[in-house]
Amino acid sequence: MTVIQTKYQGICEKSENTGRQSHRNVIEFERELTGRYGFQRFQPSDDQMVDQYSRDSIFFDLSFTNFWAWDGVFHYYYRIVGDTLTVVYMDLSGCPAAILMPGPSRDLGEAAELLRDMFARSGAPLQVDYVPEEWLPDFRRLELPLEIVCDRDWSDYVYTVADFVNLEGGENKGKRRELKRFAGLGEVAFRPFDRDRFDDALEIFDRWCSWHRCRDCFYGCERSAFARVREIWDRRRFYGGLIYLDRAPAAFALGETLGGCACYSFQKNVENFRGLTYYLSYQCAVSPGHPPALNWCEDMGLEGLRENKLRYRPNQLVSKYSVRIPT
Percentage, residues of the chain above pLDDT 70: 92
pLDDT of residue 5 exceeding 60, the answer is: no
Q: At what angle do helices 276-285 and 173-183 cross, to 10 degrees?
A: 100
**Interatomic CA distance for residues 65 and 63, integer angstroms:** 5
Per-domain boundaries in the chain: 2-154+321-325, 156-297
Residue 112: predicted pLDDT:
98
pLDDT of residue 11 exceeding 90, the answer is: no
pLDDT of residue 8 exceeding 90, the answer is: no
Residue closest to 40 by CA, chosen among 76, 83, 65: 76
The mean of the pLDDT values for the chain is: 90
The string of pLDDT tens digits covering residues 20-52 is 334 565 577 778 899 999 999 999 999 999 999
The string of pLDDT tens digits covering residues 234-245 is 999 999 999 999
Query: Stretch 146-154: mean pLDDT, rounded?
Result: 95
DSSP state of 287: S
**Interatomic CA distance for residues 177 and 183, integer angstroms:** 10
> Do residues 120 and 327 make contact, with C-beta atoms less than 8 angstroms apart?
yes
The string of pLDDT tens digits covering residues 282-302 is 999 999 999 999 999 999 999
> Do residues 308 and 157 make contact, with C-beta atoms less than 8 angstroms apart?
no
Query: Stretch 170-181: mean pLDDT, rounded?
Result: 96
pTM summary value = 0.90
CATH code 3.40.630.30 for 156-297:
yes
Residue 1: predicted pLDDT:
44
**Interatomic CA distance for residues 11 and 126, integer angstroms:** 8
Query: Stretch 188-216: mean pLDDT, rounded?
Result: 92
Kindly report the CA angle at 69 between 65 and 74, in degrees rounded to 5?
A: 110
Residue 10: predicted pLDDT:
38
Residue 28: predicted pLDDT:
74
Domain 2-154+321-325 in CATH: superfamily? Gcn5-related N-acetyltransferase (GNAT) (3.40.630.30)
Q: State the pLDDT confidence band at 167, using cuts at 50, 70 and 90.
A: very high
Quick check: do 2-154+321-325 and 156-297 share a fold? yes
Residue 23: predicted pLDDT:
57
**Interatomic CA distance for residues 129 and 144, integer angstroms:** 17
Q: State the pLDDT confidence band at 214, using cuts at 50, 70 and 90.
A: confident
